[in-house]
Amino acid sequence: MTAPPLVAVAHGSREPAAAEATRSLLAAVRRARPELVVHETYLDHESPRLSELASGTDSVGGIDGPFVVVPLLLGAAYHSRVDIPAALAPAQGRAVQAEVLGPDPLLLAALERRLAEAGVPTGDPDTAVVLAAAGSADESSVAGVRGLAEKWRSRGWWAVSAAFASAAEPSVERAVADLRAAGAPRVAVATYLLFPGLFADNLAAAAADVTSHPLADAPEIVALVLARYGAAAPGPTAPPLHHL
């Protein structure tokens, strides 16, 4: 049985760097599973749009047969519950929507990788971490970020606090200031975002000692995309991944 195509859908951004990072992530997915057909789509700002692919009006003329849509989103909220199903309506039942990427333990590993790249050792007892997410009006999405921060505290950090760039409290700036006031020797912002963009750019204003890069094409994100695909795809178990 031929594996159904993986259709990755990102939110999209006006900043070209976001699309470049999306393509870098999907290139890594293709390297890990070279036999798998992988399509890049967006909900907004960029092309091709998921709705165009589902209706057969995008540049590749749509997809014949079933396909699996993997949301490149860290939390389940309006985009995954409303926007993506609406975009898939023209596919008339041929599409299977996979779960969003987070929360998941692999995301903690990816966050630690990015902090290590910025010079912060994993579990450094002299570093307080702000888990900086985009934010959402969806309470379950916000709770997922706070739950991830709670789990992360056990890894040895001075402290871990969840914070949000919009739509929820505390702000990243407030969380950094509160940790400094509490006596944290060093404060690091762990960017809990997949791609560059306005939210990632604004994290620098929090004035932390260290701010990590978005997760983008970290090996753990590649593995998570393929895990979500594998859990949703019909048919036999996927072959082993190539080296990431």
Peptide linkage before 196 cis (omega within 30 of 0): no
What's this model's pTM, rounded to 2 decimal places?
0.90
Q: Say which range, 18-32, 67-81, 96-110, 148-162, has the weakest mean pLDDT.
A: 67-81
Q: Amino acid identity, residue 20? A: E
User: What's the rounded Cα separation, in Å, for the pair 106 and 121?
Assistant: 17
3-class DSSP assignment, residue 120 = coil
Contact in structure between 179 and 159 (CB atoms under 8 Å): yes
Report the alpha-carbon angle 52-56-33, nearest 5: 85
Query: What pLDDT sits at residue 242?
Result: 41
3-7, 85-89, 165-169, 202-206: least confident range: 202-206
The phi-psi region of residue 156 (left if phi > 0; otherwise alpha if psi is between -120 and 50; otherwise beta) is: left
* DSSP 8-state symbol, 171: B
Structural domains of the chain, with CATH: 6-102+218-232 (3.40.50.1400), 105-211 (3.40.50)
Our separate counts of H helices and E strands in the chain read 9, 8
Q: What is the pLDDT of residues 48-81, one digit of tens each?
A: 999 998 887 655 556 878 999 999 999 887 788 8
Give the whole-number percent of the chain exceeding pLDDT 70. Answer: 93
Lowest mean pLDDT among 45-49, 87-91, 239-243: 239-243
pLDDT at residue 64, rounded to an integer = 77
Q: Rounded to the nearest 5 degrees, what angle is found at the Cα of 107, between the Cα atoms of 177 and 88?
A: 110
Type of residue numbered 63: I
**pLDDT of amino acid 162:** 97
Mean pLDDT in the chain?
90
And the tokens for 115?
């902090």
How many other C-beta atoms lie within 10 A of the C-beta of residue 130? 30
pLDDT digits 0-9 by tens, 196-243? 988 888 888 888 999 999 999 999 999 999 999 999 997 654 444 443
CB 97 within 8 A of CB 84: yes
